[in-house]
Chains A and B, each alone.
Chain A
């Protein structure tokens, strides 16, 4: 297991100081996607605005950026 940090850049920025353990980067990114969707879902339920450019960043413990997940990449819309 490797420690990754999932930082949120939303209406407020939340840095993940504690980190979470995942078997690999793919699993950490999958959790970042799940987290983004979780926050978007709450925004929908409470009638808040969703900014598609808001994002999650996955870093290693040294703070090196490994992956970025934009809110706009994890939801689909159709007219």
Chain B
């Protein structure tokens, strides 16, 4: 949040004094079920979580991957019941459940914190907009390259690795569900990217050996992950 928003020490302290309930979620378990009415929002402390929609036949589309430091359902403050779900990906996830009433008290007392939350929601929306372009218009190779670049930048900003070297602890079906293709097809695409010398994968470790080429292959421009003025504050 501090990468997007400037907050005073008092505001930061107010956020830190929020009392959340820490919960450990096993891999593949729901954090928020579809249709569940929640009275808290979740901060991802560690691990990876995903928001997804599911069809009757069981097929899924992952619509967001949340990494440590993401407040993964801030929107639930305004929309406590949604039809999508949030689930732990393939490793255990630690979350902090922060009650909505405390969040509301906080944002009413500190408008800058409300702005910061708002900015986080905008960031979520910007990423989602890119993902729509991904599944709608980018071909399989392009969208895979785009997502791997995006996750690299996000991991680096969150202090979880380097943009060209990070660990993506998810199984192939989950990554394929984020890309809107079958795992077999995705593996074929990743093999192609490897053979072209763009990346090396070793188990869950992604090593992007030619960032410029992978970004070009994905048409990736990271502007949607940045904020024009950087952290700013109008006083």
Q: From B171, B182, B184, B185, name the one whose CB has the most chain A CB atoms within 10 angstroms.
A: B184
A16 to B192, CA, bound (A): 15
Which residues of chain A come closer than 8 Å to B173, judged between CB atoms? Answer: 20
A14 to B189, CA, bound (A): 10
Interface residues of B (CB under 8 A from A): 139-140, 171-173, 181-185, 187-188, 191-192, 195
Contacts A8-B188, A12-B188 hold; do A20 and B183 have CB atoms under 8 A apart?
yes
Tell me how many residues of A have a C-beta within 8 Å of chain B.
Answer: 18
Query: Would you call the interface of chain B mostly helix, strand, loop, or mixed?
Result: helix
- By beta carbon, the residue of chain A nearest B180 is A38
Contacts A20-B183, A34-B182, A35-B184 hold; do A42 and B191 have CB atoms under 8 A apart?
no
**CB proximity of A42 to chain B, nearest CB, Å:** 5
- By beta carbon, the residue of chain B nearest A7 is B184
A38 to B172, CA, bound (A): 16
> 8 A-B pairs, CB-CB below 8 angstroms?
A6-B184, A8-B188, A16-B187, A35-B183, A35-B184, A38-B182, A39-B184, A56-B184
Which residues of chain B come closer than 8 Å to A18, judged between CB atoms? Answer: 171-172
A42 to B182, CA, bound (A): 11
Query: Would you call the interface of chain A mostly helix, strand, loop, or mixed?
Result: mixed
Q: From A8, A34, A35, A45, name the one whose CB has the most chain B CB atoms within 10 angstroms.
A: A35
Q: Are A39 and B171 in contact (CB under 8 A)?
A: no
A10 an interface residue at 8 Å Cβ cutoff? yes
- By beta carbon, the residue of chain B nearest A19 is B172
**CB proximity of B179 to chain A, nearest CB, Å:** 11
Q: Are A38 and B185 in contact (CB under 8 A)?
A: yes
A31 to B191, CA, bound (A): 20
Q: From B139, B171, B184, B187, give the contact of A45 (CB < 8 A).
A: B139
Q: Are B139 and A35 in contact (CB under 8 A)?
A: no
Mark each residue of chain A from 19 to 52: 1 if its CB lies under 8 Å from any CB of chain B, else 0.
Answer: 0100000000001101100110010011000000
Q: From A14, A31, A32, name the one whose CB has the most chain B CB atoms within 10 angstroms.
A: A14
Q: Please give me the 3 A-B residue pairs with the lowest Cβ-Cβ distance, nearest first.
A: A35-B184, A35-B182, A38-B182
Which residues of chain A come closer than 8 Å to B195, judged between CB atoms? Answer: 12
Q: Are B171 and A35 in contact (CB under 8 A)?
A: no
Which residues of chain B come closer than 8 Å to A46, judged between CB atoms? Answer: 139
A13 to B7, CA, bound (A): 53
